[in-house]
């Protein structure tokens, strides 16, 4: 197991090095590194780890391997919440992170759980379908909001919705990274409670774990994390879905004591590399990182879906 | 005898109809702010205010145009609303208005004229074409001359070394002007150089690093949404940039720089 941590740590170091030094203009290196690339690398680590850990926890507490902030509509809810908060001028934020996004994420997740009847829908695809419906509802709300908004600002909103790490400053990057560390640390500390969910919903209480309390706390923390993540960097899909599955396969176990820290590390690696691609392949143009993660993630999602249908996952 | 009477009646009706048509002033709708501005220049402000019954959103120059009904949210069009004004002439733009919406207007039996895209080098011809559409050749000739004189006045003395200018039209993401935008052509015409003229799109998104790498002599920030001062402060951190070190960051009015108009020439002259 030690080797797996070493590998993930080295991969993170390598991806950060790539992100910091790929096509760097060395005549101005100190300034570019300090003002641009370092905050970007930190926010990529913070957002990537937050999304991957959130996906892993959601897949466990909702007993659904296709659950992640994006497929459940939490990310769309957060985007819609952030948009509404911006429209009405609700400036409840810290370090540039928007509380409207947290409320939007939380609202979608609570609504989703109300809609899914316990014991009937949770194990099936209906949760994902409901999540997609809620996601579409939020996307429609966003579309209406954008149609009414000043057209000059729409391009900026569009770019943010596709995932944009370039607008984040050092303070926001550190705040999100700190939040991701704290929430991931919480899940790691209580990993045994999460492990109880692996035996099936009906067995959770048998391990002395409160099903409802554990699930609710997990949902609340994930909503806060994803909400702040979306408000900082927009919608970045598939990291939360793909990384937990790949890490489980790599670990050959689903136990959360190892799953949470390794999801943290590999999520950070994935987004750091994705962002390095986003700001270097189209140079001097800037590409939205969410489009790159979706481009890679969508085929993997389809493969997972098909394999699940066949009962292989 | 009956045939003669009928002929006289027909002749009378035709002459009355043509007299009515001559007496009825045109009812013009313009679908871009740039076309509205040039229409006012060609027709003269007073006549334009009489003939224009509808303009698109952001048609704000001359300021009197703001009093005219807005019939189209630029760049989207409300076809029904435009038709409700019963215009005798609708002037659209090939690059700013969508072809299917122009087609819808035509299906409603409206007389629609579509202007080609504006380019800095081809503006005199563009103005003459608009004048023909407006049936105002004299005004068109005068406006085209004003334009050509204005461009000639911008010419730099020989020996002027071209400056690399970075024009920022949006803060986040950073949007600049590419080689195909009229502003890039304008910079070329006045002897300077657009920092991103090698990019083909008219308004590409670029990274901050790319700007640092190319190190412009001047930074022009087009103030679209009132955030130009914040954008300028953002650049001031990068003191190694030539433009920052020499204090050559200028905030420009979006109204002056968003359209290929006489105001653009005046603004460029001021920046010399």
Mutate to test the interface with A, among B164, B178, B205 (most CBs of A within 10 A): B205
**DSSP structure class, residue B177:** -
Which residue in A has a C-alpha nearest to residue B235's C-alpha?
Answer: A35
Interchain contact, B205 vs A285, CB within 8 Å:
yes
Among left, alpha and beta (phi > 0; psi -120 to 50; other), residue A288 is beta
Interchain contact, B207 vs A286, CB within 8 Å:
yes
pLDDT at residue A41 in the model: 95
Cβ atoms A12, A265 nearer than 8 A: yes
Structural tokens at position B224: 């679209």
- Superfamily assignment of A65-309 in CATH? ABC transporter involved in vitamin B12 uptake, BtuC (1.10.3470.10)
Pick the CATH number of B164-271 from 3.30.950.10, 3.40.50.1100, 1.10.357.10, 3.40.50.1980: 3.40.50.1980
Confidence of residue A192 (pLDDT cuts 50, 70, 90): very high
Helices and strands per DSSP (H, E), number in chain A: 13, 2
How many residues does this entry show for chain A? 313
Q: Could you tell me which of B42, B261, B270, B34 has the C-alpha nearest to residue B153?
A: B270
Confidence of residue A249 (pLDDT cuts 50, 70, 90): confident
The SS3 of residue A89 is coil
**Torsion sign over Cα B155, B127, B259, A161:** negative
Structural tokens at position B237: 């951190």
Q: What are phi and psi of B158, to 5 degrees?
A: -65, 145
Checking if the pLDDT of A280 tops 90, the result is: no
Boundaries of every domain in chain B: 23-152, 164-271
Angle at B215 between CA B209 and CA B219, to 5 degrees: 95
pLDDT at residue A25 in the model: 81
Residue range A252-272: mean pLDDT, rounded: 94
Interface residues from chain A to B (CB-CB < 8 Å): 25, 28, 31-32, 35-37, 150-153, 155-156, 159-160, 164, 166-167, 279, 283-286
User: pLDDT in tens for each of the 272 residues of chain B?
Assistant: 566 666 666 665 555 555 444 557 899 999 999 999 999 999 999 999 999 999 998 899 999 999 999 988 766 788 888 999 999 999 999 988 888 889 999 999 999 999 999 899 999 999 999 999 999 999 999 999 999 999 999 887 777 889 999 999 988 789 999 998 999 999 988 889 999 999 988 889 899 999 999 999 999 999 877 788 889 999 998 988 999 999 999 999 888 888 899 999 999 988 87
- Helix pair angle (A38-61, A2-21), 10° resolution: 140
Any chain A CB within 8 A of the CB of B230? Answer: no
pLDDT at residue B264 in the model: 93
pLDDT at residue B11 in the model: 62
Structural tokens at position A74: 């939490």
Greatest C-alpha distance within chain B: 95
Residue range A235-259: mean pLDDT, rounded: 89
Paired with B249 in beta bridges are B219
Boundaries of every domain in chain A: 65-309
Which residue in B has a C-alpha nearest to residue A165's C-alpha?
Answer: B173
How far is A164 from A8, CA to CA, in rounded Å?
25
Q: Could you tell me which of A292, A219, A227 has the C-alpha nearest to residue A83?
A: A227
Interchain contact, B207 vs A283, CB within 8 Å:
yes
Mutate to test the interface with A, among B173, B230, B234 (most CBs of A within 10 A): B173
CA B239 to chain A, closest CA, distance in angstroms equals 9
The SS3 of residue B21 is helix
- Decide if B23-152 and B164-271 have a common fold: yes
Q: Could you tell me which of B96, B85, B74, B109 has the C-alpha nearest to residue B29?
A: B85
Interchain contact, B225 vs A153, CB within 8 Å:
yes
Q: Which of B172, B210, B237 is closest, CB to CB, to A156?
A: B172
**pLDDT tens-digit profile of A112-171?**
888 875 555 455 467 778 888 999 999 898 888 877 766 656 666 777 778 888 878 888
Counting Cα atoms < 13 Å in the Cβ hemisphere of B210 gives 24
Q: Which of A152, A166, A283 is closest, CB to CB, to B224?
A: A152
Residues from chain A contacting residue B32 (CB–CB below 8 Å)? none
Residue range A53-62: mean pLDDT, rounded: 92
The SS3 of residue B165 is strand
Interchain contact, B173 vs A286, CB within 8 Å:
yes
pLDDT at residue A183 in the model: 97
What is the distance of C-alpha A16 from the center of its chain? Answer: 19
pLDDT at residue B149 in the model: 94
pLDDT at residue A113 in the model: 80
Checking if the pLDDT of A310 tops 90, the result is: no
> HEC string of B216-241?
CCEEEEEECCCCHHHHHHHHHCCCCC
Range B3-13 burial, b when 16+ CB lie within 10 A, else e? eeeeeeeeeee
pLDDT at residue A14 in the model: 97
Inter-chain Cβ pairs, chain A and chain B, closer than 8 A = 67
Residues from chain A contacting residue B238 (CB–CB below 8 Å)? 31, 35
pLDDT at residue B145 in the model: 96
Pick the CATH number of B23-152 from 3.20.20.70, 3.40.50.720, 3.40.50.150, 3.40.50.1980: 3.40.50.1980
How far is B236 from B242, CA to CA, in rounded Å?
11
How far is A23 from A19, CA to CA, in rounded Å?
9
Q: Which of B170, B212, B237 is closest, CB to CB, to A156?
A: B170
How far is A243 from A52, CA to CA, in rounded Å?
6
Please tell me the least confidently modeled range out of A170-174, A187-191, B49-53.
A170-174
Among left, alpha and beta (phi > 0; psi -120 to 50; other), residue A68 is beta
pLDDT at residue A92 in the model: 58
Residues from chain B contacting residue A35 (CB–CB below 8 Å)? 237-238
Q: How many CB atoms lie within 10 A of CB A2?
A: 6
Checking if the pLDDT of A88 tops 80, the result is: no
Residues from chain B contacting residue A154 (CB–CB below 8 Å)? none
Q: Which of B75, B173, B210 is closest, CB to CB, to A284?
A: B210
User: pTM to 2 decimals?
Assistant: 0.78
């Amino acid at each position: 197991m030690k080797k797996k941590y070493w590998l993930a740590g080295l991969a993170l170091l390598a991806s950060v090095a790539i992100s910091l030094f790929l096509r760097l203009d060395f005549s101005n290196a100190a300034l570019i590194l300090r003002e641009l690339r370092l905050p970007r690398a930190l926010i990529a680590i913070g957002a990537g780890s937050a999304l991957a850990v959130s996906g892993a926890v959601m897949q466990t507490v909702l007993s659904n391997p296709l659950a992640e902030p994006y497929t459940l509509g939490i990310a769309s809810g957060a985007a819609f919440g952030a948009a509404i908060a911006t429209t009405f001028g609700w400036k409840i934020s810290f370090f540039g992170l928007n509380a409207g996004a947290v409320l939007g994420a939380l609202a979608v997740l609570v609504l989703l759980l109300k809609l899914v009847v316990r014991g009937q829908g949770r194990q099936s695809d209906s949760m994902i379908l409901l999540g997609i419906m809620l996601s579409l509802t939020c996307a429609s709300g966003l579309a209406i909001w954008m149609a009414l908004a000043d057209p000059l600002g729409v391009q900026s909103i569009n770019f943010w919705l596709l995932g944009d790490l370039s607008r984040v400053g050092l303070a926001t990057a550190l705040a999100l990274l700190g939040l991701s560390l704290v929430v991931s640390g919480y899940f790691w500390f209580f990993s045994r409670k999460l492990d109880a969910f692996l035996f099936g919903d009906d067995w959770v209480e048998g391990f002395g774990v409160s099903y409802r309390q554990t699930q609710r706390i997990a949902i609340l923390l994930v909503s806060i994390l994803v909400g702040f993540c979306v408000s900082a960097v927009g919608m970045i899909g598939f990291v939360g879905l793909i990384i937990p599955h790949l890490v489980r396969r790599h670990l050959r176990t689903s136990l959360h004591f190892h799953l949470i820290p390794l999801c943290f590390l590999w999520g950070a690696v994935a987004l750091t590399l994705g962002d390095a691609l986003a700001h270097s392949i189209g140079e001097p143009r800037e590409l939205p990182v969410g489009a790159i993660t979706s481009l890679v993630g969508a085929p993997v999602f389809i493969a997972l879906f098909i394999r699940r249908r066949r009962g292989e996952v | 005898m009956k045939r003669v009477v009928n002929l006289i009646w027909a002749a009378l009706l035709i002459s009355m109809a043509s007299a009515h048509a001559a007496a009825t002033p045109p009812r013009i709708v313009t679908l871009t702010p740039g076309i509205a501005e040039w229409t006012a220049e060609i027709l003269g402000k007073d006549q334009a205010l009489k003939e224009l019954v509808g303009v698109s959103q952001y048609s704000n120059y001359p300021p009197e145009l703001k009093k005219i009904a807005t019939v189209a949210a630029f760049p989207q069009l409300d076809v029904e609303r435009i038709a409700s004004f019963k215009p005798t002439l609708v002037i659209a733009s090939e690059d700013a208005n969508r072809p299917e919406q122009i087609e819808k207007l035509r299906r409603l039996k409206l007389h629609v004229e579509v202007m080609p895209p504006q380019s800095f080098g081809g503006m005199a011809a563009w103005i003459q074409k608009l004048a023909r559409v407006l049936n105002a050749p004299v005004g068109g000739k005068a406006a085209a001359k004003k334009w050509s004189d204005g461009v000639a006045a911008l010419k730099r003395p020989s020996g002027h070394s071209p400056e690399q200018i970075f024009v920022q039209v949006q803060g986040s993401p950073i949007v600049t002007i590419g080689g195909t935008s009229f502003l890039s052509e304008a910079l070329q015409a006045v002897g300077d150089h657009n920092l991103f003229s090698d990019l083909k799109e008219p308004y590409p998104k670029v990274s901050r690093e790319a700007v640092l790498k190319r190190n412009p002599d001047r930074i022009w920030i087009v103030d679209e949404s009132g955030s130009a001062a914040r954008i300028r402060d953002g650049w001031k951190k990068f003191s190694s940039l030539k433009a920052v070190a020499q204090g050559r960051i200028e905030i420009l009015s979006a109204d002056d720089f968003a359209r290929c108009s006489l105001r653009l020439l005046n603004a460029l002259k001021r920046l010399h």
